[in-house]
Amino acid sequence: MSSEPAALSAKEGRGLYRALVLRKQLILAGLALALLMSLCIDLALGPASYSLGQVVLALVSPASVPLQVRVVLWEIRLPIALMAVVVGAALSIAGAQMQTILNNPLASPFTLGISAAASFGAALALAFGVALIPAAIEYVVPLNAFVVAMLTALVIHLLSLKRGVTVETIVLLGIALVFTFNALLALVQYLSSEQALAAVVFWTMGSLTKATWPKLIITSLILLATLPIFARRA
């Protein structure tokens, strides 16, 4: 007699699990469809507006649309739109990793000062032309931001390895780093020329207008290379 309720309970559990999986799949499918629609709308809007039909035709069969439409969509708008998708995915993964590491749903790269460190590194290149890693001029700013951010993350990691260090200690260190790098950034802005100051402020606000196919490929490869590592340690 007791086995029947147990079997029924197991059957109900499997049914609830399948329903939960189906619900998640439907949500993901809906989000993917919304992303695709948003991408097409973004490609259609701008100084030169196109219909959704023209956009789809240009994406599916580029040779069948006029040269002007092909250049605008494929060489200008599509790299920017896809870069927005890749950057959004990278930021989402970074936020999820921070929340996992600190066991805090409110944690983010801003919490530990990593974002502020990146802004300071970029400002050094924009204001004073400092290149921490020799590279082509168009890659100096992101490389500076990356290097300073990684050095900051390394400092936090080394501190976390010490005995007796708690999550609260790491968060407090992160807050101190935020104020430190914000102060250094303010000093750089104070010492900058008007043109450099405008460039620093514009960079900290964020923009994807300079996205190109090579930059998109590099960013995508970095994301794809780090994703399995994060998934294994999630």
CATH number for the domain spanning 193: value is 1.10.3470.10
CA 89 to chain centre: 5
The token pair at 150 is 């990684």
Handedness of CA 62, 68, 71, 76 (dihedral sign): negative
Residue 177 lies in a domain: yes
Total residues found in the chain within this entry? 234
Q: How far apart are CA 56 and CA 54, in angstroms?
A: 6
Residue 225 lies in a domain: yes
Mean pLDDT of the chain: 88
Domain range spanning residue 200? Answer: 77-232
* Distance set, CA 91 to CA 51, 85, 227 (Å): 31, 10, 12
Residue 161 lies in a domain: yes
pTM of the model: 0.82
Q: How far apart are CA 178 and CA 120, in angstroms?
A: 10
The per-residue pLDDT for range 47-78, each reduced to its tens digit, is 888 999 999 999 999 989 899 999 999 999 99
Task: Of 160, 178, 168, give the one whose Cα is nearest residue 109.
Answer: 178
Residue with tokens 């329903």: 19
Residue with tokens 């809007």: 45
Residue 36 lies in a domain: no
Residue 2 has pLDDT above 70, yes or no: no
Q: 97 or 35, which is more confident?
A: 35
Domain count, the chain: 1
The per-residue pLDDT for range 21-50, each reduced to its tens digit, is 999 999 999 999 999 999 999 999 988 889
Residue 45 lies in a domain: no
Q: Amino acid identity of 18? A: R
What is the chain's alpha carbon radius of gyration, rounded to the nearest angstrom?
Answer: 23
Residue 1 has pLDDT above 70, yes or no: no
pLDDT score, position 134: 86
Residue 166 lies in a domain: yes
Residue 135 lies in a domain: yes
